[in-house]
């Protein structure tokens, strides 16, 4: 624990002594302190009025006071230290005692408490976090009516009661995230409780569900947890279109449902995102390690508040074939095809965006992934791919080019990995790797070419007004530049002059 955190706990304890108030370290904070992984968000339960107590702490420590829930007596104090913000939450005890409060919590490993002075004593003795051989010393000071300490030691997530999710159904998703984050096992009876309570999520605001689901997507190995959520109907509760995909046959060999394919794609894409697993194609060139580092940096770049690009990308496999259920058509040969499914799937992105309150950027990103997931395959089957076609791909998708290529790679891998098309898969991996190399290492040839002319040049030289024609001319010049047909300002203007008549 940092020196500032120790000082902060000491100051809160001193203030509590003056106010004759009992303050308990509770919930996730106590769990994380025991495991040695606490962050800058602190949670306390307070005897008496926690709101008034928090107001006094904010005034004494020079922090900002935020009222979170007047009805239930919850408030926050925000402090800043060396450019870092610390959040300290105070909640009035539920019930008449700390024991009653703990019995109303969600999971046993969150239903423990220790009085702040007792924890400071453990800290002073060097027992916080406790060395493994000294963990028994915590049993004397921790209030643990539900057996949370034993579950911590046994790495188990267990609901406190059969009513654990009724006051806040979001705990259903939080339990899954917590299990994945801590690498704990959900008890079978808790899994059953989640399954039977999943309908309660309809009572939860969409933005809260989305934030918790993003936490699951952030797990380096989230696939096993999504598979569990799928098995108990929790994933379909969030995205109802899944049920249609489960009864829609895909055109793979051996035959499987569209949803089985989607989950395979998710698993493979997650492996790619997790430092690329066994995706040897990314190391197939002399600059393979450099390419790996660039893509890892790209996937971990921020997109919006608190999101990283890979979280949104990992959601794309669940939606990329959503339109297949509505477009399935059997052709003359008896083969099922899905014409336009990449367009039809956009409707399901819109529905999810509305329910989960996605930002415009998040919705636009997912729609781009769904709409364009076949684009790289189209280029692949129409080889040789011209430099201009590659440029158009990168121009259309911009920073999302890498994401679409990785999604497409996972999609084709899921399709071919169980069939007899291993050779095609090897060729496609080479193609995808080549496209990524072009994007990152040959940007001046395929992505952002130095402009030979601008709009003002064409207006002055050709006597045309600002218009769509002007934009089209600039686009055609760039494509000619990619093909090597123009290399100077004069050549670009002459090229524009020659094709102008065909555009007006």
pLDDT in tens, 118-165: 999 999 988 888 888 888 888 889 999 999 999 999 999 999 999 999
DSSP string, 52-66: HHHHHHHHHHT-EEE
Best CA proximity match to 151, nearest among 271, 303, 31, 48: 31
CA 128, 129, 132, 138 dihedral sign is positive
The domains found in the chain, sorted by start residue, are 3-147 (3.30.460.10), 155-235 (1.10.110.30), 239-443 (no CATH), 455-503 (no CATH)
Query: CB under 8 Å to 240, separation ≥6 — which residues?
Result: none
Distance CA 153, CA 149 (A): 6
Rounded to a whole number, what is the distance in angstroms from the first to the last CA of the chain?
A: 71
Prior bond to 61 cis, omega within 30?
Answer: no
82, two tokens: 């060396």
Helix (H) or strand (E) holding 483: helix 468-483
DSSP SS3 for 118: helix
Parallel, antiparallel or unpaired: strands 336-337 and 41-46: unpaired
Distance CA 103, CA 145 (A): 7
Distance CA 164, CA 170 (A): 11
Instruction: Give buried/exposed letters for 148-167 (b at 16+ CB in 10 A, else e).
Output: bbebbeeebbbbbeeebbee
Residue 459, classified by CB atoms within 10 Å of its CB into exposed (0-12), middle (13-18) or buried (19+), is: middle
Residue 305, classified by CB atoms within 10 Å of its CB into exposed (0-12), middle (13-18) or buried (19+), is: exposed
Q: Rounded to whole angstroms, what are the CA distances from 101 to 46, 71, 97, 139, 143?
A: 11, 16, 6, 19, 11
Distance CA 45, CA 27 (A): 9
Distance CA 40, CA 42 (A): 6
pLDDT computed for residue 283 by the predictor: 47
CA 448 to chain centre: 29
**Which 8-state DSSP code applies to residue 276?**
T
Do residues 289 and 441 touch, judged by C-beta distance below 8 A?
A: no
Distance CA 431, CA 384 (A): 11
Distance CA 80, CA 338 (A): 55
Q: What is the pLDDT along the chain (504 residues), one digit of tens a residue?
A: 788 999 999 999 999 999 999 999 998 899 999 988 888 899 999 999 999 999 999 999 999 999 999 999 999 999 999 999 999 999 999 989 999 999 999 999 999 999 999 999 999 988 888 888 888 888 889 999 999 999 999 999 999 999 999 989 999 999 999 999 999 999 999 999 999 999 999 999 999 999 999 999 999 999 999 999 999 999 999 999 999 999 998 877 667 899 999 999 999 999 998 866 544 445 455 677 888 889 999 999 988 777 899 999 999 999 999 999 999 898 887 788 899 999 999 999 999 999 999 999 999 999 999 999 999 999 999 989 999 999 999 999 999 999 999 999 999 999 887 666 767 888 898 899 899 999 999 998 898 888 888 888 888 888 888 888 888 888 888 888 888 888 888 888 888 888 887 775
Phi, psi of 497 (to 5 degrees): -65, -40
Do residues 482 and 495 touch, judged by C-beta distance below 8 A?
A: no
Phi, psi of 254 (to 5 degrees): -70, 160
Do residues 65 and 55 touch, judged by C-beta distance below 8 A?
A: yes
DSSP SS3 for 156: strand
Distance CA 41, CA 118 (A): 20
Distance CA 44, CA 27 (A): 8
């Amino acid at each position: 624990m940092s020196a500032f955190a120790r000082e902060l706990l000491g100051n809160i304890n001193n203030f509590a002594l003056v106010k004759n108030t009992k303050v308990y370290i509770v919930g996730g904070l106590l769990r994380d302190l025991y495991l040695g992984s606490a962050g800058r968000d602190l949670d306390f339960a307070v005897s008496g009025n926690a709101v008034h107590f928090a107001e006094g702490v904010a005034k004494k420590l020079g922090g900002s006071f935020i009222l979170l829930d007047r009805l239930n007596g919850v408030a926050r104090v925000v402090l800043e230290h060396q450019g870092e913000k610390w959040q300290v939450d105070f909640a009035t005890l539920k019930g008449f005692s700390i024991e009653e409060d703990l019995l109303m919590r969600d999971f046993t490993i969150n239903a423990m408490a220790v009085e702040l002075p007792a924890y400071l004593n453990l800290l002073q003795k060097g027992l916080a976090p406790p060395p493994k051989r000294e963990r028994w010393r915590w049993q004397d000071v921790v209030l643990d009516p539900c057996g949370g300490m034993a579950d911590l030691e046994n790495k188990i997530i267990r609901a406190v009661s059969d009513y654990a999710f009724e006051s806040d159904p979001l705990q259903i998703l939080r339990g899954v995230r917590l299990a994945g984050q801590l690498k704990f096992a959900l008890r079978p009876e808790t899994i059953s409780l989640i399954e039977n309570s999943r309908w309660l999520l309809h009572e939860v605001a969409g933005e809260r569900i989305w934030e918790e689901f993003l936490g699951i997507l952030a797990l380096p190995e989230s696939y096993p947890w999504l598979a569990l959520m799928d098995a108990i109907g929790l994933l379909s509760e969030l995205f109802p279109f899944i049920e249609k995909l489960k009864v829609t046959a895909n055109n793979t060999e051996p035959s499987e449902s569209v949803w089985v394919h989607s989950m395979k794609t998710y698993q493979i894409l997650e492996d790619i995102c997790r430092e690329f697993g066994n995706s040897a194609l990314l190391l197939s060139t002399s600059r393979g390690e450099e390419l790996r580092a660039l893509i890892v940096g790209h996937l971990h770049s921020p997109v919006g508040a608190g999101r990283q690009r890979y979280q949104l990308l990992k959601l794309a496999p669940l939606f990329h074939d959503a339109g297949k259920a509505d477009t399935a058509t059997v052709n003359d040969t008896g083969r099922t095809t899905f014409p336009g499914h990449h367009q039809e799937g956009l409707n399901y992105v819109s529905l999810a965006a509305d329910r989960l309150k996605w930002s415009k950027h998040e919705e636009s990103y997912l729609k781009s992934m769904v709409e364009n997931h076949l684009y790289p395959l189209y280029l692949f089957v129409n080889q040789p791919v011209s430099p201009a076609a590659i440029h158009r791909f990168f121009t259309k998708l911009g920073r999302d080019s890498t994401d679409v290529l990785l999604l497409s790679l996972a999609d084709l891998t899921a399709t071919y990995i169980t069939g007899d098309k291993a050779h095609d898969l090897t060729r496609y991996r080479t193609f995808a790797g080549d496209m990524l190399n072009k994007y990152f290492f040959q940007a001046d040839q395929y992505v952002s070419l130095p402009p030979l002319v601008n709009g003002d040049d064409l207006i002055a030289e050709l006597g045309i007004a600002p218009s769509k024609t002007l934009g089209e001319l600039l686009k055609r010049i760039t494509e000619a530049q990619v093909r090597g047909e123009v290399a100077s300002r004069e050549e670009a203007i002459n090229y524009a002059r020659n094709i102008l008549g065909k555009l007006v």
